[in-house]
Structure 1
Amino acid sequence: MKYYISVLCLVASIGIASCGSEKNKETSSSQEIESIANPKNTPLETAPMDKADSLVAATIAAHGGKRYDTAHYGFRFRDKKYTFHNTNSGFTYTVTGHKEGKTIKDILQNGTLTRMVDGDTVQLSPKDVAKYTEALNSVVYFATLPHKLKDPAVNASYEGLTTIKGKDYQILAISFDQKDGGVDHEDHFMYWVHPQTKIIDYMAYDYETNDGGVRFRSAYDPQTVGGIRFQDYVNYEAPVGTPLKELPALYEAGKLKELSRIETEEVTVLEE
């Protein structure tokens, strides 16, 4: 009994220190989210962060945050090896594969594609440049979601809450401006974000090319490498024209056809 006072003092002391530590963590996280949503540090009274922007920023922070800005990684997707390197001056993506005994490497640097075959640069037609640029961009885009959701051409809207398999999710809808929105600027995306963790557990998109399509993806087997989260996805197909918002209900009812698995393998941090 006589130790109660000293024990209580010790507990109180620990509690104060712990609260201070947690407050610092929350402040740091809040500052990072604000930095992502407002990279130019515009005064908040002239550039308020709406709910969609806030959710985008929080989701990016949960998946990797500022680490994306200088990320240099390699990974394997299906039968090819990829790298991506982000810097203050831009980005460099590469993909290396083999065909008919030859090594083919595409290098995409700040939007300009170069193809090398067995170490020699080869010329591609404008059509092929667009084709292979989009293919490389697409793989890195999905592998590093949600990093690119902060790009200037992205339009985000908050679509409320829903429930998938007994869990609540915030709904984030994404569209793109034609300017700087890429060749697929007419595509639409939807993300279902866990309200506490801010992790994307489900996503969907529609596209217009090749007669159009609708896809729904369920994340699994997450791995965090060098502070950045990478996720694999079960890729489902839905009939063309299906509204993205209806896909979770169709998924729960077992009415979506599994099309493929999107697996990012052998993820490694690369040296400078």
Structure 2
Amino acid sequence: MPVVTNSPGPADVFWMAHDGLPRQAPGSVATTELLLGLAAPLPDRPRILDIGCGTGAASLPLAAATGGEVVAVDTHAPFLDRLRSEARAAGLAERIETLDAAMQDLPLPAGGTDLLWAEGSAYLMGFDAALAQWRRLLAPDGVLVLTEAVWTTPQPAAGARAFWDPAYPGMRSTAANAAAAEAAGWTVRATYLLPDSDWAAYYGPLADRIDALRARGVDPAVLDEVAREIDVRRAHGDDYGYAGYVLRPHGRAK
């Protein structure tokens, strides 16, 4: 069995662990379909923007279910390469366009999106900043759907705090995020706490990949850090989760 001789750094190991996985955050096709249903009504052939698309876990089912056109945004080229390959295999290549761009500064026209989708990616900006900056992209009757890490208890365990506070100091409860959205001019159409099976869909393949990298001789200390989020979830999964939000700006179609 080959052994790694040139030890990769932490960033390299992170991508080695995540590249090629079906998901880069908790979720499932079932949850995507449920949230899409809650976002209705949508125009025929809606214009969809999938921000932080990864390998297309949402882009592909959204294009298939709606008949619309999807602009799938990410900054990691291997993710976009795989999405294009998957789109070709699914017969969706003509309806999925990839865009290598930062979510904080999207080179897209105002008002050109009927459905803005962001599964597990808004935290890179922060919930409030994402709502503020992405609003201009929506058509007059547009809808925003995103999933976000949330606290599910008012007093999370110290171990959960130790992991999440440095990574996402702005993390709040589902209710607090909904209140912040309303205060910022959004109507909260629905919220949905993702089930444990959605976490397993993400962490199962990731754990298998970490085991394979250990067998190859990748630095175990670096892999332990990558695996830490799985360990924290096992120990403190009752303290936090991922919530989906379906939002429309105040005064727009409902």
Assess same fold via TM > 0.5.
Answer: no
- TM-score, normalised with respect to structure 2: 0.30
Structure with the bigger percentage of strand: 1
> Which has the greater radius of gyration?
1
Q: What TM-score comes out, normalization by structure 1 length? A: 0.28
